[in-house]
Structure 1
Amino acid sequence: MFCFPSLSRPHIGTNFADFDASKVTLAHRRRSHGASSRTVYAVAERPLDKKQRRREIMQSEKFNRRGFASTKEEAQGLMVGEFSSELLKALRESAYTLERDGLTVLLAKAYGFCWGVERAVALAFEARRQFADKRIWITNEIIHNPKVNTRLKEMGIFFVPEHVDERGMRHKDLSGIEPSDVVILPAFGATLDEMTYLDRLGCQIVDTTCPWVSKVWNALDKHQRARCTSIIHGKWNHEETIATASFAETYLIVKDLEEAEYVCNYILHGGDKEAFLNRFQNAMSAGFDPERDLNAVGIANQTTMMKNETAAIGKLFEKTMMRKFGPTELSKHFVAFNTICDATQERQDAMLELVEQDLDLILVVGGFNSSNTSHLVEIAHQRGIPVYHVDTAERIGPGNRIEYRDVHGQIQRAEYWLPKTGKHGGHVRLGVTSGASTPDRYVEECLDRIFLIHALAKSEVAV
């Protein structure tokens, strides 16, 4: 997964050569069926408690997750200046509805920047000002928004190089980081391997991990204490799920209800073990054995997944374990904790309300690699409403054109996508929402272009 260089002389391909062998042993375990190697730590005196190891790192004097008082006010001012929107403020103050020359815009009642994302970006801004004379890195995109990440690059923050191989596995190169550098951990979190390496290196760490992500990690610790395999509802190659899985001892990642049903059928009836291992080769812990490791399970999730699907997967595993072991033994074989993010849930609920508003079309603004944004698109698509997902305003125009990401993840282009009149002959009714990583200013930029397109279309009708 990662290139971890030697602490004494960074270069690609060396793994912690200068660690104190009396305290830490380093072992490589390779997954079966061609999966990539993982670096696993073991304290010589006792098995590594992953939660305790994380706590030890967080207690370091060079670890900060609270921000910096000396630069907080300046960073907040910059956030307001760069990301706020007077137009969206006006929309909120007018019952989330705005009418302009035959175009009615209806804004979802929960949309855009969530608290965890806003906190992450603010901490990055604070760090840039706190360590003005230091080189700063970030281990991933801070959030899934291209313009926000570009802004950080403009501020002189370096992004750790990464490439994705032919199987979709992520590989990072940390060799460029020096002990004197500052490293930002993004809102998605970082893996235990990354955190351990950076701690041993001795660099300053600024942790912007969303507290909801940390809550999921705490649930995994409870799974381990209950001797359960963690079933993680998520996308195995998503940054958050990669980080989350690193805090589990034994885990299996299922991306949707269909994969969960496949696993539950195997629990109840058995099946082709080789086929099972091949199907989940990138989505399971090293040495995973479905015949051994599915006798007790706990449920967790990537925080940006569809809440209803996560709940359905939890119920499915609960019923499956009850059928196999009986209701009196259920507590020994199944545990579940609520790890659904409030912000994700609120935005999905608001979208469900928005699609009931007799709309002609919906605009969703957010990063194309944003999981929570893609689920908002799915809700509109399921209701049969034309939906256009853009990551920046530059996707809209010139003319009545748009380049957008469809519900299947494909980039599409459309002409005359914005109608001149609504389906009932009156105002065009446009629903608008944005993902949790999208600042209000970027939604305003999109609406400005849409107002211009509509005005030009109206003038053509008048002529």
Structure 2
Amino acid sequence: MKVLLASPRGFCAGVNMAIDSLELALKAFGPPLYVYHEIVHNKYVVTHFREKGVVFVDHLHEVPEGATLLFSAHGVSPEVRQAARDRKLMAIDATCPLVTKVHLEAIKYAKQGYTIFLIGHEGHDEVVGTMGEAPEAIVLVETPEDVATLEVADESKVAYLTQTTLSVDDATRIIRKLRERFPQIASPPKDDICYATQNRQEAVSLLCDEADLVLVLGSQNSSNSQRLAELARERGISAHLIDGASDIQPEWLEGVQTVLVTAGASAPEVVVEECLDLLRDHHGATVEVRTTREEHVAFPLPKELRAVVLE
């Protein structure tokens, strides 16, 4: 068996920053330390931090007054920020800067009187946070079919934004429909879908035709990981989204000669290595790293933690 190991894969700059922030906050302030929602959408990472005394919450009333709270990489709404202030929480903002960029675009368009079409998945933490910036101005669009039913007061003042972890192909189809329906639609000067999401999708697109099977390391609630598996399936390749080596079913590997292994932007390298070890030990696999693009992006720590680093 041959394994094609996609590169880039795994943690993006935003996830690295969020995880580094949580590790540093634990060292500086100790447990219990609270995080609003999962720090990133990955079962392994969440379990790792729970074992260290991190408490993940979905409502701020679960956080004792005066406690330390970290906002996850997906971002939060102004309402949540205000609730944290009201409870006198020491808030550390680990929102990915690329998500913050979408929030700022939403605020700008809303102030200018635009109706904003947000392309994304209902209920996703990032979408909830972005819509909270201008709930009266934002309309969620999930599919190309949604575009036909959109109604706005002024069709000359519409704009679109996207969730950062979408399938590039899916977003492109929706954007095309929006442009057909609203020829004057405004859009941000730079694409909202993050560089890491695009790069990991590009790697799967370029490499999956060489494989009989694609294994994507990532959790079921990870939007960008789901997209990687979908991308392979759309090209007729069998693909599975797994949390780790223990999820691999022997029947998946019957008759398989080449496996493409990749990981979503919130999946740690340790789970990739465990899968490679299983494939080497039980199937005699050789591993060939295939690099489709180099990544050299890094984001600074939240301002609340920079002083801690200097101490």
Go from structure 1 to structure 2 and tell me whether the alpha carbon gap of 1:107 and 1:236 turns closer, same or farther (over 3 Å shift). same
Q: Does 1:196 align with 2:82?
A: yes
Number of aligned residue pairs: give it.
Answer: 282
CA deviation after TM superposition for structure 1 residue 450, in Å: 2.2
Residue equivalent to 1:252:
139
Residue equivalent to 1:9:
none
Of all paired residues, the percent bearing the same amino acid is 32
Residue equivalent to 1:109:
7
Q: Does 1:187 align with 2:73?
A: yes
Go from structure 1 to structure 2 and tell me whether the alpha carbon gap of 1:233 and 1:368 turns closer, same or farther (over 3 Å shift). same
- Match 1:155 to one of 52, 67, 74: 52
CA deviation after TM superposition for structure 1 residue 291, in Å: 4.8
Residue equivalent to 1:297:
158
User: TM-score with structure 2 length normalisation?
Assistant: 0.85
Q: Which residue type is aligned with residue 208 of structure 2?
A: V
Residue equivalent to 2:29:
131
- Match 2:20 to one of 91, 97, 122: 122
Q: Which residue type is aligned with residue 367 of structure 1?
A: S
Task: Tell me which structure has the larger Cα radius of gyration.
Answer: 1
Residues 154-210 of structure 1 show CA distances to partners (whole Å, capped at 9, x for unaligned) of: 1101111xxxxxxxxxxx432232232100100101121111110222211111111
Residue equivalent to 2:110:
224
User: TM-score with structure 1 length normalisation?
Assistant: 0.58
SS of corresponding position for 1:416:
helix
CA deviation after TM superposition for structure 1 residue 319, in Å: 2.7
Residue equivalent to 1:306:
167
Residue equivalent to 2:193:
340
Tell me if structure 1 keeps the 8 A contact 2:71–2:92. Answer: yes
CA deviation after TM superposition for structure 1 residue 226, in Å: 2.6
Q: Which residue type is aligned with residue 142 of structure 2?
A: K
Distance 1:128 1:185 in 2: 14
Distance 1:377 1:345 in 2: 14
SS of corresponding position for 2:139:
strand
Q: Does 1:383 align with 2:218?
A: no
Residue equivalent to 2:208:
355
Tell me if structure 1 keeps the 8 A contact 2:60–2:84. Answer: no
Q: Does 1:178 align with 2:76?
A: no
CA deviation after TM superposition for structure 1 residue 452, in Å: 2.8
Tell me if structure 2 keeps the 8 A contact 1:304–1:371. Answer: yes
Distance 1:387 1:291 in 2: 40
Which structure is richer in relative contact order (CA contacts within 8 A, separation 6 or more)? 2
CA deviation after TM superposition for structure 1 residue 107, in Å: 1.4
Residues 251-288 of structure 1 show CA distances to partners (whole Å, capped at 9, x for unaligned) of: 1111122223x33xx5xxxxxxxxxxxxxxxxxxxxxx
Q: Which residue type is aligned with residue 386 of structure 1?
A: S
Distance 1:419 1:227 in 2: 58
Alignment of structure 1 residues 260-279 onto 2, 5 Å? 260=147, 262-263=148-149, 266=150
Go from structure 1 to structure 2 and tell me whether the alpha carbon gap of 1:109 and 1:320 turns closer, same or farther (over 3 Å shift). same
SS of corresponding position for 1:355:
helix
Distance 2:267 2:244 in 1: 10
Distance 1:452 1:114 in 2: 29
Q: Which residue type is aligned with residue 235 of structure 2?
A: R
Residue equivalent to 1:448:
277
Tell me if structure 1 keeps the 8 A contact 2:41–2:266. Answer: yes
Distance 1:313 1:368 in 2: 24
Contiguous gaps of at least 5 residues in structure 2: 286-311
SS of corresponding position for 2:261:
strand
Residue equivalent to 1:12:
none
Residue equivalent to 1:233:
119
Tell me if structure 1 keeps the 8 A contact 2:3–2:258. Answer: yes
CA deviation after TM superposition for structure 1 residue 353, in Å: 0.8
Runs of 4+ in 1 over 6 A off after TM superposition: none
SS of corresponding position for 2:153:
helix
Go from structure 1 to structure 2 and tell me whether the alpha carbon gap of 1:291 and 1:224 turns closer, same or farther (over 3 Å shift). closer
Q: Which residue type is aligned with residue 32 of structure 2?
A: R
Moved more, 370-379 or 303-312: 303-312
Q: Which residue type is aligned with residue 201 of structure 1?
A: R
Residues 224-265 of structure 1 show CA distances to partners (whole Å, capped at 9, x for unaligned) of: 1331111011111111100110012411111122223x33xx
Tell me if structure 2 keeps the 8 A contact 1:363–1:433. Answer: yes
SS of corresponding position for 2:140:
strand
SS of corresponding position for 1:175:
helix
Contiguous gaps of at least 5 residues in structure 1: 1-102, 161-171, 267-289, 323-329, 397-401, 403-414, 423-427, 457-463
Residue equivalent to 1:97:
none
Residue equivalent to 2:223:
371
CA deviation after TM superposition for structure 1 residue 295, in Å: 5.5
- Match 1:439 to one of 263, 268, 271: 268
